[in-house]
Amino acid sequence: MDTNRRRTPIELLNEILANSEKMVPEYLLISYEGVLYPANFCSPENFKALQSFEARNDDIILAGYPKTGTNWLEQILKDLETTAGKYTEEEINSRNSIEKEVPMISRLEFRDEKQFQMMKKLPFRRINTTHILPQILPQSIFKNKAKILLLVRNPKDTAVSYFHFYNDMPLLQSFNTWDEYFTAFMNGKLTWGSYFDYLIEWNKYIADDHVMVITYEEMKENQTLGMKKIAEFLGFSLSDDEIQTIAEKSTFKAMKEKSPETHGLFGKIIFRKGIVGGWREFFTEAQNKEMDRKFEECLGGTKIGEKIKYGIYCKA
């Protein structure tokens, strides 16, 4: 490889992954305000820079706990936005060159000061994904009423997905057993903290008219309908054919096949199974009961709890 050439975002991602294999496990994570984050991507400086992000009214924020399908929804959002935007070729080229500096395969909390400065110049609707708690996000997101799409997935499939992610991802320290991991999940001892705390906090925002909740399960059941609801919420006007084209590009199979190009080496880790109900192979009876109790205690009777349809997707 020509080492003087500027590396593409994918090459950078691959490099981070390769280097992390050489890292001492104790240095893989940082703790910020009591929550763990991957040290290769997050730092106190990033969190400080994040506060300089001045949200616009037409910004789109995709918020979701890790492993709830954020990469999937991110692609759908980008395709909906670019298709509805009817951009000229010149606009698309200019956008592509900016995206080399501010890669869209990213999370708000990974961005540095320079990227936030560059983002100010983006002449189109900005889409940002984040896994962090709402109280850590820059408050301009709420003040300026950026549109927030909150993605949720049932806790049992989320837990199983995160288990594989932890064990397959060199940036994170593997767990020896599922049981050991399950305890960590239930106690929020994972990167980005507790699934339950995350949803308890976000539940405080979901009555706002600039927030929409969508579930992984409803997208799996009827992706076209889910996309239409999202497009309506964001004010995008698309024909049925356009929706269909985007849906075809974003099936699990299509995204997995394209992932070496879109996600580099991360693709193999992210696009694992893409199904609902895989948790049944992992949860013991006692773990099912523990999760049922915890869900009821943390999210029973809440709007988000209702959206998750626990009784349908999580009952043993």
Binding positions for ligand A3P, rule: CB under 6 A: 66-72, 157, 161, 164, 250-252, 255, 270-274, 278
Give start and end residues of each alpha helix (H) in 41-112.
Answer: 44-50, 70-85, 89-101
Task: Report the half-sphere exposure of 211 (CA within 13 A, side-chain side).
Answer: 19
Q: How far is the CB of 235 from ligand A3P (least distance, A)?
A: 24
* Nearest distance from C-beta of residue 223 to ligand A3P, angstroms: 8
Q: Quick one: 119 or 270, whose CB is closer to ligand A3P?
A: 270
CB of 24: closest distance to ligand A3P in angstroms? 25
Interhelix angle 70-85/240-249, rounded to 10 degrees, is: 140
Closest to ligand A3P by CB, 281 vs 285, is: 281
Q: How far is the CB of 280 from ligand A3P (least distance, A)?
A: 13
**Sequence-separated (6 or more) residues with CB below 8 Å from residue 315:** 292
For the bound state, the minimum distance from the C-beta of residue 188 to ligand A3P, rounded and expressed in Å, comes to 17
HSE (side-chain half, CA atoms, 13 Å) at 286: 3
Query: Tokens 């009591």 sit at which residue?
Result: 34
Residue count of the chain = 316
Nearer residue to ligand A3P within complex by CB, 84 or 247: 247
Give 46's DSSP letter. Answer: H
Contacts of 245 (CB under 8 A, 6+ apart): 83
DSSP annotation of 133 reads -
- As annotated, the active-site residues are 131
Measure the CA angle with vertex 168, ends 165 and 169; round to 5°.
Answer: 75
User: How distant, in Å, are the alpha carbons of 29, 132, 177, 194, 207 from that of 138?
Assistant: 23, 11, 37, 20, 19
Nearer to ligand A3P, 195 or 271 (CB): 271
